């Protein structure tokens, strides 16, 4: 029987950072078991498993994970969708429960990326003399600028930030550095962040330049980590204990988009349109507006990305992202706190885990369980991720009424 509403019953995030003593499945199992325990349920109750990993698990990560946490014969979906992998895994579980195929669903995202270099980009195989000859369809559209250039993520998001400034004005190297300064300051209150260090503006601006205007502290940090969530139908939630109902978080909107066709995005990915499309659909699904949000966890893979997503998520009037930031709204004590976790720049970015980890942060605040970084009386939050390829996931979450 189809479910009208979906709830996050349990959720867990491992500490992000370097885990030399744990492999991918170890981390995934830690997150999965943590989410089950947090929800007061067991693997035996799960009716579907969606497992996300992008870089290094090989075939069948979900099946490998089952060998550690329980093989019960349920359907398993192995998910890969760029940086939106975790959000896609969660949405897969949500859709299965919403369709009435399962009462409970488990979603996991995991990655081992510490020491992986530039977004885990593998070396490109070539001829013995180091050259590469384009061939096939991929060869016909692949750029030839090398491994570090304007087509890589640092270059793409540097251009996106510069383009926003060119169109609307007000941006500067210092402005983008101040966004990073905010997120690193927030990270000092998050014990699960990979980095918990407050940087001065001068330290950020004088660090290694990766792709202007983003220096090293302004870029997301590759690391190891996992996150997992248990979702349940509203009908089943009503049969559970008062404590389980109290801590459950309502999924008011779950949206996944990809790029609409545009001539320009065949050259430079358009992160704006698919995020705005996802946001419009999410607000409509949830029946809320941006002004109703008590906090936002958005995909700040680079400081430039955070600025443009203020606009894309309609946290400000179109073209007003600079004024919105300058108002102080995005700080933890502002009107619309953004990336209270420290964001990807300091919390870290184990790619497939990020989508669920952003939701974990929002859930902590809606449950009043975020300790020193708690946003007081938080009732509604938004979690956003974007992966170039392209995919965007937006979830709007609400505190339980009782």
Tally of domains in the chain: 2
| Enzyme catalytic residues | 83, 349
Q: Are residues 160 and 298 in the same domain?
A: yes
C-alpha distance from residue 328 to each of 52, 66, 349 (Å): 35, 45, 25
Which domain does 35 fall in, by range?
6-117+223-250
CA distance 383 to 296: 6
The reply to whether 123 falls in a domain is no
Q: Render pLDDT for 297-337 as a digit per residue (tens, 0 to 9).
A: 999 999 999 999 999 999 999 999 999 999 999 999 999 99
Q: Are residues 57 and 167 in the same domain?
A: no
What pLDDT score was predicted for residue 156? 87
Q: Are residues 45 and 55 in the same domain?
A: yes
Say which residues have a Cβ less than 8 Å from residue 279's Cβ, sequence separation at least 6: 312, 313, 314, 384, 394
Scored b (16 or more CB within 10 A) or e, 169-183 reads eebebebbbbbbbbb
Q: Render pLDDT for 104-161 as a digit per residue (tens, 0 to 9).
A: 999 999 999 987 665 444 445 555 666 667 778 766 666 666 555 666 788 889 999 9
Q: Are residues 227 and 99 in the same domain?
A: yes
The CATH number of the domain holding residue 236 is 3.40.47.10
CA distance 36 to 101: 19
**Sole residue written with tokens 């330290």:** 203
Q: Are residues 227 and 185 in the same domain?
A: no
Q: Render pLDDT for 338-364 as a digit per residue (tens, 0 to 9).
A: 999 999 999 999 999 999 999 999 999
Q: Which of 250, 285, 318 is the last residue of a domain?
A: 250
Q: Are residues 41 and 189 in the same domain?
A: no
What pLDDT score was predicted for residue 402? 61
Q: Are residues 265 and 228 in the same domain?
A: no
What pLDDT score was predicted for residue 262? 77
Q: Which of 207, 234, 250 is the last residue of a domain?
A: 250
Q: Render pLDDT for 245-295 as a digit per residue (tens, 0 to 9).
A: 999 999 999 999 998 877 766 666 788 999 999 999 999 999 999 999 999
């Amino acid at each position: 029987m189809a479910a009208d509403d979906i709830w996050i019953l349990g959720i867990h995030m491992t500490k992000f950072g370097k885990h030399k003593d744990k492999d991918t499945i170890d981390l995934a199992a830690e997150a999965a078991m943590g989410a089950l325990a947090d929800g007061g349920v067991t693997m035996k109750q799960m009716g579907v498993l969606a497992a996300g990993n992008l870089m290094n698990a090989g075939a069948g990560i979900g099946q490998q994970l089952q060998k550690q946490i329980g093989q019960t014969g349920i359907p398993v979906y192995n998910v890969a969708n760029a940086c939106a992998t975790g959000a896609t895994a969660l949405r897969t579980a949500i859709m299965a429960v919403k369709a009435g195929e399962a009462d409970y669903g488990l979603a996991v995202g995991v990655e081992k990326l510490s020491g992986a270099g530039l977004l885990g980009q593998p070396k490109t195989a070539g001829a013995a003399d180091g050259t590469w000859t384009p061939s096939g369809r991929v060869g016909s559209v692949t750029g030839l600028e090398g491994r570090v250039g304007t087509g890589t993520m640092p270059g793409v998001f540097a251009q996106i930030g510069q383009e926003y400034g060119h169109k609307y004005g007000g941006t500067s190297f210092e402005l983008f550095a101040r966004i990073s300064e905010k997120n690193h300051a927030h990270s000092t209150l998050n014990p699960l962040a990979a980095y918990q260090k407050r940087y001065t503006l001068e330290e950020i601006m004088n660090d290694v330049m990766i792709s202007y205007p983003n220096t090293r502290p302004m870029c997301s940090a590759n690391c190891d980590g996992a996150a997992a969530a248990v979702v349940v139908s509203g009908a089943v939630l009503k049969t559970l204990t008062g404590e389980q109902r109290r801590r459950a978080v309502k999924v008011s909107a779950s949206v996944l988009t990809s790029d609409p066709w545009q001539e320009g995005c065949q050259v430079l990915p358009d992160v704006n349109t698919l995020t705005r499309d996802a946001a419009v659909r999410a607000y409509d699904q949830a029946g809320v507006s941006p002004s109703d949000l008590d906090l936002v966890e958005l995909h700040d893979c680079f400081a430039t990305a955070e600025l443009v997503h203020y606009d894309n998520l309609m946290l400000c009037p179109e073209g007003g992202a600079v004024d919105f930031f300058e108002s102080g709204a995005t700080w933890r004590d502002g009107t619309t706190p953004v990336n209270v976790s420290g964001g990807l720049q300091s919390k870290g970015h184990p790619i497939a885990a990020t989508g669920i980890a952003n939701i974990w942060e929002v859930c902590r605040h809606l449950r009043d369980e975020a300790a020193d970084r708690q946003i007081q009386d938080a009732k509604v939050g938004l979690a956003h991720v974007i992966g170039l390829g392209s995919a965007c996931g937006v979830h709007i979450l609400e505190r339980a009424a009782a």
